[in-house]
Amino acid sequence: AASSAPAPGLASSAPAVARAAPRTLAERGTELRRSFGAAFTRARADLRRSVGYGTLAALVGLAPAFVIAHAIARHRERAWARALEFAALLPLALPGCVVGIAAILLWNSDWLSSLYATSVPAVAVLTGRFLPLCVLVLGVAFARQDPALEEAAAMAGASPLHRMVRIVAPMAAGACVLAALAVYACAVRELDIAVLVPALNSTAIVRLYNGVHFARDGYVAALALLLAASIVLPFGVWALARGPRRLEQA
Q: What are the sequence ranges of the domains in the chain?
A: 43-248
One pLDDT digit (tens) per residue for the chain, 250 residues: 455 555 555 455 555 555 555 555 455 556 666 766 767 677 788 999 999 999 999 999 999 999 999 999 999 889 999 999 999 999 988 999 999 999 999 888 888 888 888 899 999 999 999 999 999 999 999 999 888 888 888 888 888 888 888 889 889 999 999 999 999 999 999 999 999 998 899 999 998 898 887 767 787 888 888 899 999 999 999 988 877 655 555 5
Domain over 43-248 is classified CATH 1.10.101.10:
no
State the number of CA atoms in the 13 A half-sphere of 95 facing the CB: 5
- DSSP assignment of the chain equals ----SPPHHHHHHHHHHHHHHHHHHHHHHHHHHHHHHHHHHHHHHHHHHHHHHHHHHHHHHHHHHHHHHHHHHHSTTSHHHHHHHHHHHGGGGS-HHHHHHHHHHHHTSTTTGGGTTSHHHHHHHHHHHHHHHHHHHHHHHHHHS-HHHHHHHHHTT--HHHHIIIIIHHHTHHHHHHHHHHHHHHHHT--TTTTTSGGGTTSHHHHHHHHHHTT-HHHHHHHHHHHHHHHHHHHHHHHHHH-HHHHHT-
**pLDDT single digits (tens) 52-87:** 999 999 999 999 999 999 999 999 889 999 999 999
